[in-house]
Each structure stands twice: as C-alpha cells, then as structure tokens.
Amino acid sequence: MRAAHRPLLTALAVAATAVAGTVTAAVDAAPAHAATCYGYVGLTFDDGPSNSNTPALLSALKQNGLRATMFNEGQYAAAYPAQVRAEVSAGMWIGNHSYTHPHLTQLGQAQIDSEISRTQQAIAAAGGGTPQLFRPPYGETNSTVQAVEAKYGLRQIIWDVDSQDWNGASTDAIVQAVSRLTNGQIILMHEWSANTLAAIPRISQTLASKGLCAGRISPQTGRAVAP
C-alpha cells in the first residue's frame, strides 16, 4: 500500500512546489514599495473638458501614473458633464478657468463675477465638486479679479513654468520644460495639444528620474504638495 501511494505523494509534492513557486513569483512581481517622492510638482491642463481630447489625455495620465489639476472652462463643463466626472474618476483635481476664457482684466466686476460664479456652478452640477482653485485666462489678473476670487473662496493659481504648448512647442521642448520643475512648482499645459499628449510618458519618466511625483495644488499655499 505504501509503495502504491508513493507516485501519488510525489505528484502532490510536485504540485505543491509548483503552486508555492507561483505564489512566490506573484509576490516577487509586485513592487516592494511605491516610487520614492522627494518632492511634488503640479501638472495642470487648461481649457477642457471635451469629448475630443479629454479621454485620451486621461488615459495617458492614468497609464503613466500621473495625476493633474484640470482647469476647466465653465462652458465646456456644462456641455460635457460626463467628461468632468471622468476627470474625477481618473483621480484628477478640478479648478475654475472662467466660463468663456475672456480677458478678465478688461471686464467690470459684475462680468468677472459672472464668469467665475457660473463656472463654479457648472463644475459642481457636472459632478466635479466645488473648485477651490482658479486660474485666470492668459494669467491676467488684477485687484478686481482677486477680489471676486476671494468672494468665492478661490486660490489664484498661475504657474512657474510655461510649457509653451499653446505656442506650438515640440514634444521635446515640453519635456524639457517639465525637467526644469522643482519641488512645489507648477507647469502650464493644455488639454488640446497633441504634442503635450505625446509627451506624457516622457514627462512621467523625467519626473521619476528627479525623484519628483505629481501632486495636488494646495488651496492654502498655492504650491504642489503630496496628494
């Protein structure tokens, strides 16, 4: 009887060893720890959302382990609410970028108020929460704009580095711009730039090589911090 059981026992032992090896391999394949972050930077994308550009941008960001702040225009948040929700689902943060992207410094206080307040409402109605960050179009601001921002509890966010993607910068130039970022700094990019979309994988690699991670922008300090 014992001799008859030996082949069976041997087979079971081999099977157990194989299973153990599989488990060990699975454990070994998992990263030991998350990437080390020696600092955080704020990746920002203006002028969305849209059905034509937002999905591809979100996919690229997620695939490359990046999170960003999306400064949405109110008119587009109202037109494409599903994309606002997609931004939230992808782990992005949403800021206010005015309703129609005008030169705010050329408007009166009531018009500025309308641009900001309608965008707050449109983003909230689309499921994007109530923004705490505001980026004035073209980076143009004055005391009147800032007074209206304060009324809605918004922190004004400009940028430290301009990728120049709006000005036809190449993918290489955009990656080079990202390489200039230091801890806490913010870069301006746009969701509609094909060169920016193409740069996403290299942006991730560039930040990792510098020990930097993509963070959120603090409403208290206006600087990039840990998510």
Residue 115 CB coordination number (10 Å): 25
Residues annotated catalytic, as ranges = 46, 190
Contacts of 165 by beta carbon, 8 Å cutoff, 6+ apart: 174, 189, 190, 193, 195, 196
Nearest C-alpha neighbor of 96 from the set 57, 165, 46: 46
Query: CA 89 to CA 124: how far, in whole Å?
Result: 15
Of 132, 124, 93, which is closest to residue 219 (Cα–Cα)? 132
